[in-house]
Amino acid sequence: MAASSGKQSGTDFGAPFYSHTLSEVDREVARLASICNVRLLDPGVVERVLGNDASVCGTTNAIAFEKLRNVLMMHYAVRARAAESIGQTGANVLVMQIVDELKKKFGDGLGGPPASAS
């Protein structure tokens, strides 16, 4: 009886892979944002971090800020790959779910509107 190997090709990653990968990357983004006291979900803050504007930090930690910026860039690279693989809508849904989980874990420390009580 011939059975499928169950393996995906090196370029055919699906939603579970991107969900896990984005979750790991975004957890690190949130951790570093917390260390730097950066309210990432406030309007314009992500763009300022990507623009290397450390003045968004509530505490000075150049090494953590550099890592935050690099991991944030990684988030966008992984998100672009996810959009290519599972579509933009699927990628957006994954990111929204991850952000909701991070809001529950970090509270309003990441900025943005308050997390909904569930």
Predicted local confidence at residue 15, as pLDDT? 87
Task: Report the Cα 41 to chain-centroid distance in Å.
Answer: 11
pLDDT tens per residue across span 44-71: 999 999 999 999 999 999 999 999 999 9
Q: Per residue in 88-100, is it b (16+ CB within 10 Å) or e — as a string?
A: eebbeebbeebbe
pLDDT surpassing 60 at residue 118: no
| CA 118/CA 111 separation, integer angstroms | 19
| CA 101/CA 96 separation, integer angstroms | 9
pLDDT surpassing 60 at residue 74: yes
Residue 10's pLDDT band, with cuts at 50, 70 and 90, is very low
More confident residue, 101 or 13: 101
Contact between 38 and 48 (Cβ < 8 Å): no
Residue range 13-27: average pLDDT? 90
pLDDT surpassing 80 at residue 12: no
Cα dihedral sign, 68-70-72-74? negative
